[in-house]
Amino acid sequence: MSNLATRLREGTQKSHTAAENTTFMKCFLKGIVETVPFRKLLSNLYLVYTTLEEEFRRHQEHPVVGKLYFPELNRQQNLEQDLAFYYGENWRSEIVPLKAGQVYVDRLKEISNTDPALLIAHSYTRYMGDLSGGQALKHIVRSALDLPSDRGTAFYEFEQLPTIEAKKEFKEKYRQALDSLSLDEDMVARIVEEANYAFTLNRNVVDELEADVRAVLDPHVFELLTKQDRVGSTTARHGHAA
């Protein structure tokens, strides 16, 4: 037993709180969601998830990575639905990676080639967040953008895990899979370190979107929304911990 689930949860708490305290996420969590920065975010997440899922498929027979290969988590097709909604049918020619988004993608390719077990850190930070706090973000987006009932938030929908109970059961299955891995202490430590870096890569993406959010808000309102730090609210309220 590696105890990796607990090590990841405890070892990334500060990074998780820091992620909530980006300017973009402070506004997001207070219901300020604008179409232009949101679709840019989805564009970059599409590039990230497409790469992550491609590399997981590539290593599905790997003795470590393969045990965390769960195709029911894949986000690529759902993100394609959202991008078609926000950009139109020619979305593939419209989306452009942010500088930070390209760095994120490049990191996934790098570790896939040199140390594929580290992909688990990225799976953890992305999918467990999507299954937990991401479900609350879905409702914020739907309300803020006044979306049609069946469009615009496919990214947050897990068709094979449609209920709260199903998501809860899957997260327990995922934790057990993490703990079942036969890893030495050095590998556990490196996975936790990579998970913290994954949070940093994600923060860098949303930081690039700050200017788009700032541009649509009154400066005084922007300051009021962003001056106070949050104290791990998503972790506490929505149970991101995996």
pLDDT digit string, tens, across residues 133-148: 888 999 999 999 999 9
The helix or strand, by DSSP H or E, that contains position 137, with its residue range, turns out to be helix 133-145
**Please, are residues 179 and 5 in contact by the beta-carbon 8 Å criterion?**
yes
Q: What is the pLDDT of residue 57?
A: 98
Q: pLDDT digit string (tens) for 213-237?
A: 888 888 888 888 788 776 664 444 3
Measured over the CA atoms of residue 108, residue 111, residue 113 and residue 119, the dihedral's sign is negative
Residue 3 zone, left/alpha/beta (φ > 0; ψ -120 to 50; rest) = left
Domains of the chain: 4-238 (1.20.910.10)
Q: What is the pLDDT of residue 1?
A: 67
**Please, are residues 2 and 67 in contact by the beta-carbon 8 Å criterion?**
no
Q: Quote the crossing angle between the two packed helices 13-20 and 185-208, to the nearest 10°.
A: 0
Tokens of 167: 């998501």
Closest CA to 146 of 34, 12, 27, 29: 34
pTM of the complete model beyond 0.75: yes
Spatial distance between the Cα atoms of 203 and 19, rounded to a whole number of angstroms: 6
pLDDT in tens, the chain (242 residues): 679 999 999 999 999 999 989 999 999 999 999 999 999 999 999 999 999 999 999 999 999 999 999 999 999 999 999 999 999 999 999 999 999 999 999 999 999 999 999 999 999 999 999 999 888 999 999 999 999 988 999 999 999 999 999 999 999 999 999 999 999 999 999 999 999 999 999 999 999 999 998 888 888 888 887 887 766 644 443 344 34
Please name the residue that has the structure tokens 């050095």. 186
Strands of the chain (E only): list them.
Answer: none
